[in-house]
Structure 1
Amino acid sequence: MENLALQKCNEANAKLQLDIIDFNTVGFEAVFYVAESLVEVCSVFGPLSEELAKKKKYAKLCTAVGGILNGFAPSDFQLAAIQALKIDTEEEMATVVKLIYVKAIADPISSPIYAKMCLALSTKEVPSASDPAVITNFRKVLLLECQKRFEEDYFSRQDTKDEKEEIESAEKETEKKDFEIGFKKDPLNRRRSLGNIRFIGQLIKLRILSEKILHQCILRLLSQRDDEDYLEALCVLLITTGKNMESAKTPQMSVTETNREIMNSYFTTLEAIVKNQTVSERILSMIQEVIDLRKCGWSITAAHRV
Structure 2
Amino acid sequence: MDSISVMNEDISSNPLESQSASTVKARTSLECVTPLPSAIINNDKCQPQAMQQLKYDCNELLCIRDNSATFPLPKSLSNLPIIINEGNQSKIDDNNLTLCDVESILDELTPETFGALATKLRKLKFDCYEKLKEIVELFYSKGVDESGSSCLYARLCKQFNRRTVAVSNARCRESRYGFRGVLVKHCQKQYDNICREEIEYEKQKLESETVLNEKNDRDATKKLEEDFIKIKRRKLKHLLFIGKLYRFGIMWSSVVFEYIEYLLRDKNDEESLEYLHHLLRTTGQKLEDEMIPTVPEKSRLEKYYGQLNTIVKEHKISDHICRMIKDLIELRQVSEL
Is the alpha carbon distance of 1:42 and 1:294 closer, same or farther for their aligned partners in structure 2, counting shifts above 3 Å? farther
Q: Which runs of 5+ in 1 are unaligned?
A: 1-37, 300-306
Other structure's SS at 1:248 match = helix
Q: Measure, in 2, the Cα distance between the counterparts of 1:66 and 1:186.
A: 29
Aligned length: 254
Deviations 1:38-71 (A, max 9, x none): 9457699734696x76763343122111122111
> How much identity, in percent, do the aligned residues show?
25
Match of residue 192 from structure 1: 234
Is the alpha carbon distance of 1:145 and 1:129 closer, same or farther for their aligned partners in structure 2, counting shifts above 3 Å? farther
Q: Measure, in 2, the Cα distance between the counterparts of 1:170 and 1:116.
A: 48
Match of residue 308 from structure 2: 270
Q: Measure, in 1, the Cα distance between the counterparts of 2:230 and 2:84.
A: 46
Match of residue 290 from structure 2: 248
TM-score, normalized by length of structure 2?
0.63
For 2:190, give the aligned amino acid. Answer: R
Is the alpha carbon distance of 1:129 and 1:100 closer, same or farther for their aligned partners in structure 2, counting shifts above 3 Å? farther
For 2:120, give the aligned amino acid. Answer: A
For 2:94, give the aligned amino acid. Answer: K
Which of 192, 196, 207 is the aligned partner of 1:151?
192
Contact 1:126/1:137 (8 A) holds in 2 = yes
Q: Measure, in 2, the Cα distance between the counterparts of 1:70 and 1:94.
A: 19
Q: Measure, in 2, the Cα distance between the counterparts of 1:82 and 1:41.
A: 29
Match of residue 123 from structure 1: 162
Other structure's SS at 1:135 match = strand
Other structure's SS at 2:126 match = coil
Q: Measure, in 2, the Cα distance between the counterparts of 1:105 and 1:296.
A: 30
Q: Measure, in 2, the Cα distance between the counterparts of 1:80 and 1:170.
A: 57
Is 1:210 aligned to 2:252, yes or no? yes
Q: Measure, in 1, the Cα distance between the counterparts of 2:257 and 2:107.
A: 33
Contact 2:263/2:273 (8 A) holds in 1 = yes
Query: Alpha carbon RMSD of aligned pairs, Å?
Result: 3.7
For 1:267, give the aligned amino acid. Answer: Y
Greater shift, 226-235 or 205-214, is seen at: 226-235
For 1:209, give the aligned amino acid. Answer: M
Q: Measure, in 1, the Cα distance between the counterparts of 2:200 and 2:315.
A: 20
For 1:204, give the aligned amino acid. Answer: Y
Q: Which runs of 5+ in 2 are unaligned?
A: 1-67, 74-81
> Could you say which structure has the higher strand fraction?
2
Match of residue 102 from structure 2: 65
Equivalent runs, 1:1-306 vs 2, <5 Å: 39=69, 46-47=84-85, 56-78=93-115, 79-128=118-167, 133-154=174-195, 157-158=198-199, 186-249=228-291, 253=294, 256-259=295-298, 261-297=299-335
Deviations 1:53-111 (A, max 9, x none): 67633431221111221112113313211211111111101110111111111122221
Q: Measure, in 1, the Cα distance between the counterparts of 2:184 and 2:301.
A: 23
- Report how far residue 278 of structure 1 moved: 3.1
Instruction: State the structure with more CA Rg.
Output: 2
Structure 1 stretches of at least 4 aligned residues deviating more than 6 Å after TM superposition? 169-173, 177-181
